[in-house]
Amino acid sequence: MSLAFGQTVLAIPGPSPAPERVQRAMHRGSPNIYEGELVDMMPGLVADLRTVARTEHDVSFYIANGHGAWEAALCNVLSRGDHVLVLATGRFAQGWREMAEKLGVTTDMIDFGPRAPIDVEQVVEALKADDGRIKAVLCVQTDTASSVRNDIAALGRAIRATGHEALFMVDCIASLGCEPFEMDAWNVDVMVTGCQKGLMTPAGVSFVYHGPRAWAAWEHADLRSGYWDWERRARPELFYQRFAGTAPTHHLYGLREALDMLVHEEGVENAWARHATLAEAVWNAAEAWAEGGVVVPNVVDRAHRSIAVTTFRIEGGQAQPLRQWCEHQMGVTLGVGLALDMNSNVGAELFRIGHMGHLSPHSLLGTLAVVDAGLKALGLPHGSGALDAAISGIVEASRPAQARTA
């Protein structure tokens, strides 16, 4: 007998659950795309997207997923035969590299492995040894497969301190809106993200943010095409130019509602704090399960773990049975294990819990309780006290400040 006939829970690391308010905002007839409310709300959307990324720079919209944003970013600043340096901490920087090579860009990659962050000193050494060949440095803030989180602030400072002219390009698809990101203060030239994770809108729209150094590279980029070119998208004379044609009308209505919730109601910094508290609850549970058990967090050091997703390893390839039990018996869908590099099969030993976007403690604690039940139901060795550990951090964070310091 399955018990999964009540409310189900999607606990994958994107697309994250879309709030009912966002879904209701999208549930409407098609609007006039030439004038009226849809056109009038665009300046506010752009302003709020800048607020989330802490930037005064331009942002271009694409009717595409994150892979589309990758390609758009590359096409607007590079030419065939250009060379880039890719910093890999899992699968997704490698995927961006693969796309660059298919466009005729040559690459070098420093692979830091799927359990540790970028070593800034190695990057500095590579740039100091370069003779100007490297046109851009590519990395991710959070690798969604490995759940490694990189220190973008430190990396941005270090790159600029070398005096190297390479553009700094960052994938924030899994992290924007979930944890601190300061595009301008951190010397990021190009940032890519999508609407379906921290921005809480159903998948289908992505964004490329780009600053003055990226615009300077755009002047000479021969990979620019009619569709990916960001010139009119970022600074359109007419509304339709922002989308190279018909706008993703209903996504824009949903995004407007989501940004109202994130920017104007909760506040971006409060959202960062909420995500940090919920991530710690997951980590507390993870470390309790790992005591004498077969389930361990992929990233050992908390300082290097993603705030938005946690990847788990299960010895003996039991990740799939656990995921299936949680979904089919309990109605909780966990994230599948993705290979941590483009040539690996290790995804069979992994599962992931997404803790991003429209998420509150009761939903997250329910997910952790189901995983705990699944470990017991399948007879998988694990440490005890995971739920108490998860709850303790949430209780502490919820106390009034004076009670926490007493």
Binding site feature residues for substrate = 352
Structure tokens at 109: 């990659």
Find out whether 349 and 314 touch, Cβ atoms under 8 Å.
Answer: yes
Half-sphere exposure of 177 (CA within 13 A, CB side): 30
Task: Give the residue numbers of the binding site.
Answer: 352
Phi, psi values for residue 329, rounded to 5°: -95, -30
CB atoms within 10 A of CB 197: 28
CA gap 205, 18 in Å, rounded:
14
Given a contact cutoff of 8 angstroms between Cβ atoms, the answer to whether 285 and 389 are in contact is yes
* First-to-final CA distance of the chain: 49
Cα torsion 396, 397, 398, 399: sign = positive
CB 375 within 8 A of CB 289: yes
How far, in whole angstroms, is CA 196 from its chain's centroid? 9
